[in-house]
Amino acid sequence: MRVGLIAMSGVRIKSEDLSRLGVTLPGFVQRGKVIAALPSLGLLTLASIVPPEDEIEYIEVDDLKTVGDLRDDFDLVCISSFTAQVLEGYELADRYRAKGIKVALGGLHVSQMPEEAKAHADAVVIGEGETTFPRLLADCKEGQLEPYYIEQRRGSFDLASAPMPRYDLLDPDRYNRITIQTQRGCPHVCPFCASTRLFGRGFRQKPVELVIRELEAVEKIWPRPFIEFADDNTFVNKRYGKELCKALIGHRIRWFTETDISVAEDEELLDLMFQSGCEQILIGLETISDSAIHEADLHGWKARKLESYREAIERIQSHGITCNGCFVLGFDGHDASVFENVRQFALETNLLETQVTVLTPMAGTETYHKMRTEGRLYRLAPWDECTLFDVTFRPIGMTRRQLEEGLMYLFKELYNVGVYTRRKRHYMEITKKLTTRRPEGPPAGVAS
């Protein structure tokens, strides 16, 4: 059987004004390039389940308009997509099906909207694919695909059984950041989070030795890789985090991950993170407004941490680890003053990177259901506008125009050359003062 694994990739922005502005701002362009260049770990993982006698090709489609003629001699095409690209994914699925090729759809969005996806596919994978993909492949070979392949208990897959992703399918020259996953799920209850809809709130970790085995597979192809951990919240369990960092230290990698602000409470962990090559952590600060923080995390964890944000950022960055602070704009508790408040906070705390996005009602999230129930969605299925940069709902504390213009204002204020340079200088001065050192030695793959 010939299996095509297709990832809909890249960053999307529908707003022409914001698009035009974004490409002129170095701080925005850089992170956009990084995100666009990340391979789909989900598909590489499923590739490992495909029996060796079958042929696999991994393909990324970042713009359907310019993709040209894709190979069309597959027996089965599996397409994975985030919400913003899903309509393009459906269009591609339709093209393949018109040629008589079987299509399976899966991923975050499709798992929430299986009936919608089924209109464009022979089979839809709901939930994590590891448990259902083997049966889907077998059924396809028999010519008996079922309409839905459903993970029986959401978030129950044991990561100790995680198959080794097929990194060997990637063109080594095309990728400069490689993804590895150490955990799934997150204990926080952020109503806008699409990931926890797929992975659940139970926190599952991959055994450290398995993470290291995957890293070693990566190092065989990229001797000094930059690793982007494809995690939701890596350091919820500090003991596991320290064990992971200690195991990474011998590998001479540099890495990035997403976690929460609580890492700042553990100096030993911060030291180990730096020593093991941590360059940056992305933290969902979400909002610094007292009037909105309870909307960012329904259990109030972030509200309880809000007062510590400034000190925590300072502590993390003083360990040589840069912070990418993420802010969401457009909560009901936000009025038009939010933009200036975020600007001031980002500049005063010297966050090396910031990510400002608009509250987005991703399919299946509590935010989506709330907006829909309250009749505030401009379109009931605004998937192509779920880019994180486009406004898809009617805000409460300001007008739509104010929210759009406020986002543009923050783009200009936070991503311009002057601010970008100032952040660079701040980081350089921190690194001069560092007392913790990364171990010297030969690069990974060269050490005996």
Partner 1 sequence: MSDVQNQISSIVRSMAQLDHDPDPGANLISEAGIDSLMALRILASIEKSFEVRIPDDQLMEMTSVEKIAHFIESARRA
Which of residues 224, 294, 370, 376 is near partner 1 by CB under 8 A?
224
Query: Is there binding between residue 417 and partner 1 (CB under 8 A)?
Result: yes
Measured distance CA(260)–CA(308) in Å, rounded: 12
Q: Which stretch binds partner 1 (CB under 8 A): 72-80, 261-269, 323-331, 424-432?
A: 424-432
Tell me the C-alpha to C-alpha distance, in Å, between residue 216 and each of 91, 165, 211, 221, 445: 37, 12, 9, 9, 9
Q: Using CB under 8 A, which residues numbered 26 to 55 contact partner 1?
A: 30
Q: Which stretch binds partner 1 (CB under 8 A): 51-59, 117-125, 140-148, 428-436?
A: 428-436
Burial class (CB in 10 A: 0-12, 13-18, 19+), 237: middle
- Give 227 or 362: the residue with its C-beta nearer to partner 1: 227
Query: Is there binding between residue 425 and partner 1 (CB under 8 A)?
Result: yes
Query: Is there binding between residue 301 and partner 1 (CB under 8 A)?
Result: no
* Distance in Å, CB of 281 to partner 1, minimum: 12
In this structure, the chain runs to a length of 448
What one-character DSSP code corresponds to residue 207?
A: -
Per-residue binder mask for partner 1 (CB under 8 A), 314-353, x = binder? --------x-------------------------------
Determine which helix (DSSP H) or strand (DSSP E) holds 13, and give its type and residue range.
none
* Distance in Å, CB of 391 to partner 1, minimum: 31
**CA 351 to centroid of chain Cα atoms:** 20
For tokens 């933009």, what's the residue? 339
Tell me the C-alpha to C-alpha distance, in Å, between residue 260 and each of 83, 115, 289: 24, 34, 18
Tell me the C-alpha to C-alpha distance, in Å, between residue 139 and each of 42, 51, 128, 175: 20, 13, 18, 33
Please name which of 306, 378, 321, 393 lies closest in space to residue 353, comparing C-alpha atoms. 321
- Give 255 or 389: the residue with its C-beta nearer to partner 1: 255
- Give 14 or 177: the residue with its C-beta nearer to partner 1: 177
Query: Is there binding between residue 19 and partner 1 (CB under 8 A)?
Result: no
Which of residues 166, 252, 315, 334 is near partner 1 by CB under 8 A?
252
DSSP letters along 404-435, please? HHHHHHHHHHHSSHHHHHHHHHHHHHHHHH--
Q: Which stretch binds partner 1 (CB under 8 A): 11-19, 87-95, 120-128, 436-444?
A: 436-444
Query: Is there binding between residue 279 and partner 1 (CB under 8 A)?
Result: yes
Query: Is there binding between residue 280 and partner 1 (CB under 8 A)?
Result: yes
* Distance in Å, CB of 363 to partner 1, minimum: 34
* Distance in Å, CB of 31 to partner 1, minimum: 11
What one-character DSSP code corresponds to residue 233?
A: -
* Distance in Å, CB of 262 to partner 1, minimum: 23
Beta bridge partners of 245: none
Q: Is 198 helix (H, G, I), strand (E, B) or coil?
A: helix
Determine the size of the site formed for partner 1 (CB under 8 A). Answer: 23
For tokens 């709901």, what's the residue? 126
Beta bridge partners of 325: 283, 354
Q: Which stretch binds partner 1 (CB under 8 A): 124-132, 303-311, 337-345, 429-437?
A: 429-437
Which of residues 148, 175, 301, 427 is near partner 1 by CB under 8 A?
427
3-state SS of 357-406? EECCCCCCCHHHHHHHHCCCECCCCCHHHCCCCCCCECCCCCCHHHHHHH
* Distance in Å, CB of 343 to partner 1, minimum: 20
Query: Is there binding between residue 431 and partner 1 (CB under 8 A)?
Result: yes
- Give 243 or 279: the residue with its C-beta nearer to partner 1: 279
* Distance in Å, CB of 32 to partner 1, minimum: 13
Per-residue binder mask for partner 1 (CB under 8 A), 169-198, x = binder? -------x----------------------
- Give 126 or 253: the residue with its C-beta nearer to partner 1: 253
- Give 174 or 432: the residue with its C-beta nearer to partner 1: 432
End-to-end CA distance of the chain: 41
- Give 299 or 422: the residue with its C-beta nearer to partner 1: 422
Please name which of 157, 199, 152 lies closest in space to residue 49, comparing C-alpha atoms. 157
Measured distance CA(253)–CA(350) in Å, rounded: 25
Q: Which stretch binds partner 1 (CB under 8 A): 13-21, 331-339, 343-351, 423-431?
A: 423-431
Binding region for partner 1 (CB under 8 A): 30, 176, 224, 226, 252, 254, 279-280, 322, 417, 421-422, 424-425, 427-429, 431-432, 440, 442-443, 446
